[in-house]
Amino acid sequence: MKTTPIVAATVDFSDPAAARAPSFDDLYHPRSGAFAQAQQVFLAGNGLPARWRGRERFTILETGFGLGNNFLATWAAWRDDPARCERLFFVSIEKHPLTVADLVRAHAGSPAPALARQLIDAWPPATCNLHLLDFDGGRVRLLLALGDVQAWAREIVARVDAFYLDGFTPARCPAMWDRGVFRMLARLAAPDATAATWSAARIVRDGLQGAGFVVQAAQGSGGKRDITLARYAPRFTPPAPPGRRTALQAPSHALVVGAGLAGATVAGALARQGIACTVVDRHAEPAAEASGNRAGLFHGTVLGHDGPHARLLRAAAMFGESTLRMALVRGVPGRVDGLLRLHHQLSLPAMQALLERQALPPRYVQAVSAENASRLAGVTVAQPAWFYPGGGWIDPAALVRDALATPGVSWLGATTVQRMARHGDAWQLFDADDRAIAEAPMLVLANADDALRLAALPRAWLQRQRGQVSDGPSAVAGLPRIPVASGGYVLAMGGAGLLFGATHQLDDDDASVRDSDHHENLAKAARLLGDLPLPDISTLRGRAGWRTGSADRLPLVGTAPDPRAPRPSRADAPRLLPRQPGLWLHCGLGSRGLTTAALGAELIAAQASGAPWPLEADLVDAVDPARWLLRSGLAPM
Ligand SMILES: Cc1cc2nc3c(=O)[nH]c(=O)nc-3n(C[C@H](O)[C@H](O)[C@H](O)COP(=O)(O)OP(=O)(O)OC[C@H]3O[C@@H](n4cnc5c(N)ncnc54)[C@H](O)[C@@H]3O)c2cc1C
Ligand SMILES: C[S@@+](CC[C@H](N)C(=O)[O-])C[C@H]1O[C@@H](n2cnc3c(N)ncnc32)[C@H](O)[C@@H]1O
């Protein structure tokens, strides 16, 4: 997906009855009231709330988030309904999001002030991403797709039960009602999906009809004018390709191998979707391998080309920030106060020009001078830097334990999985004595590079790289207030000490902590912060671990491909390749697991449960493990 800079809405609030969009010469809602329209056209027109009753999950897709009134009215109706569905998903596409200040103004007299306040507090930075905003403990999820509907029409993956078509008047806003949009509705519609809109324009009725909907005119509110209602009744529905299939029925139980960040986050995400999980690990305690350092960094990424890597890390960093903040509230040690990434190649004006070109907002990233970086860090910094306000550090092992404590997750330690086998519709795990450990219809391999061995996939898809961190005493004075990174990092863990490093070694299986690595880490820290009073090497402790990553530096997340199944006649995209039923991979998190694990976990949970996918289709392809079958063919195992 080609990203485009997001231009905020210009809103004219001079008419107290309805905000106006001067660039479209149209009102955001009728003067009779936004909530009244939401009730009469969008909720009632889609048979809500009755249709969501008794359902596990219900998905709505809206074209045009605007002021968010339809979302708020729907959320309020869901809350007021004692028979509501378990989980409500609301996907909404918006090219021109409001600024926070305009959002506050738009909801000054809201009929649902408490909900409006929560929406304002969660309002994301204006970047071309699918933003996930969770409310009511995650039972209500808003997926806000910022950007042009034409671009998002091919990217959203969901099974939608009800469509709210709420672009501006077709004559003034044709892009919201064109063939690409109607084709999207047909592609995403669940078998009994419905659509509603206040527009009775011919182009709307014809568009819906052409997309396979049966269209009906209905009387609008107060008998004023016709509105359009529609029900999806296609003559033929082509099957989704293997890499785009989403469960019709979520399994009741799943097994997860690996209790590091990848396994724990996926277990937590599955359990939140109602899928109970057992997490199996060879160690007696969770987070005993790569995820066991005392602290690690998380933050976004800016690259000259806003391609899959930069976009995935941005999406992951923004979602990760909200989930990590919640973990801190539950007592996981860490801070989300920002992070500096020093830049050695680009000058400050070149960095600022890059941000301007990509229109990345300051809430996500800022280019700061060495002087300002020093002010932020509280110590002398010699280079300009990217400042990520939503970045920080966290204790990964505590995060793993926190995720394993999610209701619905159980833990089975000291159990090595030697092999797995398909038994009927389930996967069975076996230990080294070939005793059955457990079985379930769904299995997630989150055991780093060993996942490839278990799934009988080429080991060459992932490489292992040793790394040692150095852990210094807390008594050192003059530590940076926020983490400072660039080819290494220095972070002060409150009163709990100083962590810095780390080394990078290929083909190195030495688990011992080495003085030579401490020397290397001390040199890295001195390069980052020349004035840092470094601890004496005799006071240092350390920890060695292995990062597991793929050559394109993107994780392996999604259903496991089946290299033995016959290839379809057309197999030039990962999504077209056959899969092993009920089997997922979440591995290859490389050196960015703290940033990416939570979003990867949500993708797997959505694929397994039928919830809308939290990533756009081209990023799903970018992390799809099947991409390696296309790129390298079937390498020797
Ligand atoms: C020195 C160092 C510094 C790092 N710093 C950062 C940082 O600052 N920020 C950041 O984001 N990331 C950092 N990382 C990377 C981060 O730690 C990883 O991305 C992340 O921990 C990977 O999590 P994981 O769950 O995939 O792997 P792991 O944590 O290794 O978990 C895999 C689990 O699978 C289990 N397992 C394997 N095989 C089997 C089997 N057959 N049966 C049962 N159990 C099995 C293992 O016991 C292990 O617990 C660093 C890594 C290192 C080494
Ligand atoms: C009538 S308003 C939506 C009102 C909204 N549903 C609410 O409840 O407040 C129409 C919205 O469509 C958005 N829009 C217009 N053209 C668009 C496009 N090409 N892609 C995505 N959104 C677009 C506008 O910015 C505007 O916010």
Residue 56: predicted pLDDT: 96
CB of residue 593 inside a 6 A radius of ligand 1: yes
Instruction: Check pLDDT > 80 for residue 222.
Output: no
Percent of the chain with pLDDT over 70: 98
| Of 261, 323, 469, 471, best ligand 1 pocket probe by most atoms within 8 Å of the beta carbon | 261
Helix axes 69-80, 113-122, angle to 10 degrees: 120
Residue 62, SS3?
Answer: strand
CB of residue 168 inside a 6 A radius of ligand 2: yes
Distance CA(566)–CA(494), nearest Å, equals 55
40 CA to centre of ligand 1 in angstroms: 51
What residue owns the CA closest to ligand 2's atom 9? 67
Would you say 229 and 194 are in contact if contact means Cβ atoms under 8 Å apart?
yes
Distance CA(422)–CA(441), nearest Å, equals 9
The ligand placed nearest to the CA atom of residue 128 is 2
* Torsion angle of the four alpha carbons 439, 445, 446, 449, in this order, in degrees rounded to the nearest 10: 140
CB of residue 95 inside a 6 A radius of ligand 2: yes
The ligand placed nearest to the CA atom of residue 94 is 2
CB of residue 297 inside a 6 A radius of ligand 1: yes
Instruction: Check pLDDT > 60 for residue 223.
Output: no
24 CA to centre of ligand 2 in angstroms: 10
Residue 637: predicted pLDDT: 37
Pairing of β 392-394 and β 334-335: antiparallel
**pLDDT-based confidence at residue 636 (cuts at 50, 70, 90):** very low
Give the Cβ contact number of residue 412 at 10 Å: 15
Q: Which atom of ligand 1 is nearest to the CA of 465?
A: 53
Distance CA(89)–CA(157), nearest Å, equals 13
Residue 510: predicted pLDDT: 96
Distance CA(278)–CA(257), nearest Å, equals 8
What residue owns the CA closest to ligand 2's atom 27? 66
Q: Which atom of ligand 1 is nearest to the CA of 451?
A: 38
CB of residue 592 inside a 6 A radius of ligand 1: yes
Would you say 462 and 549 are in contact if contact means Cβ atoms under 8 Å apart?
yes
The ligand placed nearest to the CA atom of residue 23 is 2
Instruction: Check pLDDT > 90 for residue 497.
Output: no
Ranges 200-214, 226-240, 475-489: which has the least confidence: 475-489
CB of residue 483 inside a 6 A radius of ligand 1: no
599 CA to centre of ligand 2 in angstroms: 27
Phi, psi of 468 (to 5 degrees): -120, 130
Distance CA(71)–CA(164), nearest Å, equals 10
What residue owns the CA closest to ligand 2's atom 4? 66
Q: Which atom of ligand 2 is nearest to the CA of 26?
A: 1
Sequence-separated (6 or more) residues with CB below 8 Å from residue 294: 395, 397, 469, 471, 493, 496, 497, 499, 543
CB of residue 107 inside a 6 A radius of ligand 2: no
174 CA to centre of ligand 2 in angstroms: 11
The ligand placed nearest to the CA atom of residue 280 is 1
DSSP annotation string for 566-622? PPPS---SGGGS-EEEEEEEEE-BTT-HHHHHHHHHHHHHHHHHTPPPSS-HHHHHH
Residue 417: predicted pLDDT: 98
CB of residue 153 inside a 6 A radius of ligand 2: no
Mean pLDDT of the chain: 95
Instruction: Check pLDDT > 60 for residue 518.
Output: yes
Distance CA(13)–CA(10), nearest Å, equals 10
Strand partners, 226: 219
Residue 616: predicted pLDDT: 97
Q: Which pLDDT tens digit goes with each residue over 55-103?
A: 999 999 999 999 999 999 999 999 999 999 999 999 999 999 999 999 9
Cα–Cα distances (Å) from 126 to 43, 103, 143, 552, 637, in that order, read 28, 13, 14, 27, 44
Q: Which atom of ligand 2 is nearest to the CA of 62?
A: 6
Residue 494: predicted pLDDT: 81
367 CA to centre of ligand 1 in angstroms: 31
Closest CA to 414 of 282, 289, 288: 282
Q: Which pLDDT tens digit goes with each residue over 451-473?
A: 999 999 999 999 999 999 999 88
Sequence-separated (6 or more) residues with CB below 8 Å from residue 566: 578
Query: Tell me, what DSSP letter sits at residue 538?
Result: G
What residue owns the CA closest to ligand 1's atom 8? 296
Query: Tell me, what DSSP letter sits at residue 12?
Result: B
**Peptide bond preceding 17: is omega within 30 degrees of 0, i.e. cis?**
no
611 CA to centre of ligand 2 in angstroms: 24
User: Per-residue pLDDT averaged across 227-247, rounded?
Assistant: 92
Cα–Cα distances (Å) from 268 to 143, 200, 488, 595, 601, in that order, read 19, 45, 30, 16, 8
What residue owns the CA closest to ligand 1's atom 32? 447
CB of residue 502 inside a 6 A radius of ligand 1: yes
547 CA to centre of ligand 1 in angstroms: 6
Ranges 250-264, 380-394, 526-540: which has the least confidence: 526-540
**pLDDT-based confidence at residue 237 (cuts at 50, 70, 90):** confident
CB of residue 296 inside a 6 A radius of ligand 1: yes
Q: b or e along 569-592 (b: 16 or more beta carbons within 10 Å of the residue's beta carbon)? A: eebeebbbbbbbebbbbbbbbbbb
Distance CA(143)–CA(91), nearest Å, equals 5
* Torsion angle of the four alpha carbons 21, 25, 28, 31, in this order, in degrees rounded to the nearest 10: 120
Would you say 318 and 144 are in contact if contact means Cβ atoms under 8 Å apart?
no
Q: Which pLDDT tens digit goes with each residue over 567-599?
A: 888 888 999 999 999 999 999 999 999 999 999
Q: Which atom of ligand 2 is nearest to the CA of 28?
A: 1
CB of residue 545 inside a 6 A radius of ligand 1: yes
Cα first-last separation, the chain: 33
The ligand placed nearest to the CA atom of residue 62 is 2
CB of residue 208 inside a 6 A radius of ligand 2: no
Q: Which pLDDT tens digit goes with each residue over 294-345?
A: 999 999 999 999 999 999 999 999 999 999 999 999 999 999 999 999 998 8
Give the Cβ contact number of residue 331 at 10 Å: 8
Residue 224: predicted pLDDT: 58
Residue 634: predicted pLDDT: 46
232 CA to centre of ligand 2 in angstroms: 23
Task: Please identify which residue in the block is written with the tokens 């996981």.
Answer: 332
Rg (CA), the chain: 25
Instruction: Check pLDDT > 50 for residue 434.
Output: yes
CB of residue 92 inside a 6 A radius of ligand 2: no
User: Per-residue pLDDT averaged across 428-441, rounded?
Assistant: 97
Distance CA(547)–CA(551), nearest Å, equals 12
Percent of the chain with pLDDT over 90: 90
197 CA to centre of ligand 2 in angstroms: 13
Distance CA(636)–CA(474), nearest Å, equals 49
Residue 414: predicted pLDDT: 98
332 CA to centre of ligand 1 in angstroms: 18
CB of residue 280 inside a 6 A radius of ligand 1: yes
User: Per-residue pLDDT averaged across 388-416, rounded?
Assistant: 98
Distance CA(541)–CA(526), nearest Å, equals 18
Residue 635: predicted pLDDT: 40
Residue 475: predicted pLDDT: 64
DSSP annotation string for 354-384? HHHHHT--TTT-EEE-HHHHHHHHTS---S-
Closest CA to 93 of 59, 48, 129, 124: 129
Distance CA(421)–CA(427), nearest Å, equals 6
Residue 568: predicted pLDDT: 86
Cα–Cα distances (Å) from 169 to 8, 28, 29, 66, 614, in that order, read 20, 10, 11, 13, 29
DSSP annotation string for 506-524? ES----S--HHHHHHHHHH
Helix axes 396-404, 308-329, angle to 10 degrees: 70
CB of residue 64 inside a 6 A radius of ligand 2: yes
Cα–Cα distances (Å) from 337 to 318, 377, 409, 467, in that order, read 14, 10, 30, 26
**Which segments of 137-201 does DSSP mark as H helices, in order?**
149-152, 179-188
Q: Which pLDDT tens digit goes with each residue over 599-613?
A: 999 999 999 999 999
Instruction: Check pLDDT > 80 for residue 526.
Output: yes
285 CB-contact burial (10 Å; exposed 0-12 / middle 13-18 / buried 19+): middle
137 CA to centre of ligand 1 in angstroms: 28
Instruction: Check pLDDT > 70 for residue 184.
Output: yes
Residue 10, SS3?
Answer: coil
